Amino acid sequence: MRVLFWGTPDFAVTPLAALLGEGLDIIGVVTQPDRPQGRSRSSVVASPVKALALREEIPVLQPTRARDQEFIEEIRKLEPDISVVVAYGQILAKEVIDLPKHGTLNIHASLLPALRGAAPIQGAILAGFAETGISIMQMVPALDAGPVLHQVSTPIGPDETYGELAMRLSELGALAIVQALALMSAGAATPREQNPTLVTLAPKITRDSARIDWTRDAVQVARGIRAYDPRPAAFTTAGGAEIKLFHPSLAEGLSGNPGQVLEAGNELVVACGDGAVRISEIQPAGRRRMAAGDWTRGRAVATGDILG
């Protein structure tokens, strides 16, 4: 089977490696254009998917717009049997989705129809889900709305962060796409339409999404900190300076005004709308992540201060 693979971030590398490990004919990799990085924006860095493709001597395509007719003709010449998409980063036109003989499959990091959209991993943590998983879906022009071919579920740990869960789901996605393609090859795949009454959304993360709202209860605040760890990282301000917070836990039996610092010792304890959270790691602006105690000992904050 001739496979055209689409993907860009770290999350997409493991599924690509799994397909290569199965001996499938990867005829090309489509990924986002190289992006400038660093403060001066002077260095250009290739996506992790591109780096793997080049090591394996697979042709790489990096269109600015995946809808451009010139690019579409380029992939048409490759004559793919199927396309596999995981976190590519652009909306694909129907012409592109339908171009391969067997259509296009998408590896989506939720149990559809729950959490359609750009941030399903963060969405599962924010919602307090006990489990999530991977859905292999036949792509259609509507957002994550196609028939589901195969699903694999996994529990979410009580303290699991976005970064930790994303790594596990990447591995699960690799397993799921291999299983789905095997089912298709055996003629045993049975696509299932999604129930429209069960659809929920997980929209793209914005900067404001990651700002901590201390008026929420402690459980919600802790989920938010875990959902944005390691990036973009949940943040608040102390004395007018921005700080990012990591590794929260509930501070049982403590309360105060929302955002009030209740303890500033080895851990930072902050009151929420209901209850309080303990923070064990902090990253001040322009500095590395550090133990909360290393930051508080520098007298950056004191008991009674209000974070905002």
Residues 35 and 123 in one domain: yes
pLDDT at 42 over 70: no
pLDDT at 35 over 90: no
Residues 146 and 258 in one domain: no
- pLDDT cut 90: percent of the chain above it: 91
Residue 210 tokens read as 């990651």
Q: Which residue, chain included where needed, has tokens 């605040």?
A: 221
Burial of 44 (0-12, 13-18, 19+ CB in 10 A): exposed
283 domain-assigned: yes
pLDDT at 212 over 80: yes
Residues 68 and 96 in one domain: yes
Residues 40 and 125 in one domain: yes
- Provide the pLDDT confidence category of residue 39 given band limits of 50, 70 and 90: low
pLDDT at 47: 86
User: Per residue in 47-104, pLDDT tens?
Assistant: 889 999 999 999 999 999 999 999 999 999 999 999 999 999 898 999 999 999 999 9
Strand partners, 30: 6, 61
Question: Structural domain tally of the chain?
Answer: 2
203 domain-assigned: no
Residues 129 and 78 in one domain: yes
Count CA atoms within 13 Å of residue 141 on its CB side. Answer: 7
* Alpha-carbon 257 to chain mean position: 33
277 domain-assigned: yes
Residues 133 and 257 in one domain: no
303 domain-assigned: no
For helices 13-21 and 48-55, angle between their N-to-C axes, nearest 10 degrees:
20
82, 102 contact by CB (below 8 A): yes
pLDDT at 190 over 80: yes
Domain range for residue 92?
A: 2-198
41 domain-assigned: yes
Q: What is the CATH number for 119?
A: 3.40.50.170
Residues 191 and 244 in one domain: no
Residues 37 and 124 in one domain: yes
Q: Which of 143, 172, 198 is the last residue of a domain?
A: 198
The DSSP bridge pattern shows strands 241-250 and 235-238 to be antiparallel
252 domain-assigned: yes
Residues 30 and 162 in one domain: yes
305 domain-assigned: no
Q: What is the CATH number for 271?
A: 3.10.25.10
Average pLDDT, the chain: 95
Q: Which of 148, 171, 198 is the last residue of a domain?
A: 198
Q: Which of 169, 198, 227 is the last residue of a domain?
A: 198
Q: Which residue, chain included where needed, has tokens 């404001």?
A: 208
Q: State how far the alpha carbon of 214 is from the alpha carbons of 96, 161, 186, 255, 258, in Å.
A: 45, 19, 53, 12, 5
289 domain-assigned: yes
Structural Rg of the chain based on CA atoms: 22
State phi, psi for 243 to the nearest 5 degrees: -135, 145
Strand partners, 249: 278
110, 135 contact by CB (below 8 A): yes
Residues 33 and 165 in one domain: yes
Closest-CA residue to 277 (of 305, 303, 253): 253
pLDDT at 41 over 80: no
Q: For the chain, what is the HEC assignment? A: CEEEEEECCHHHHHHHHHHHHCCCEEEEEECCCCEEECCCCCEEECCHHHHHHHHCCCCEECCCCCCCHHHHHHHHHHCCCEEEEECCCCCCCHHHHHCCCCCEEEEECCCCCCCECCCHHHHHHHCCCCEEEEEEEECCCCCCCCCEEEEEEEECCCCCCHHHHHHHHHHHHHHHHHHHHHHHHCCCCCCECCCHHHCCECCCCCCHHHECCCCCEHHHHHHHHHHCCCCCCCEEEECCEEEEEEEEEECCCCCCCCCEEEEECCCEEEECCECEEEEEEEEECCCCCEEHHHHHCCCCCCCCCECC
Residues 143 and 248 in one domain: no
User: Per residue in 97-152, pLDDT tens?
Assistant: 999 999 999 999 999 999 999 999 999 999 999 999 999 999 999 999 999 999 99
Residues 224 and 105 in one domain: no
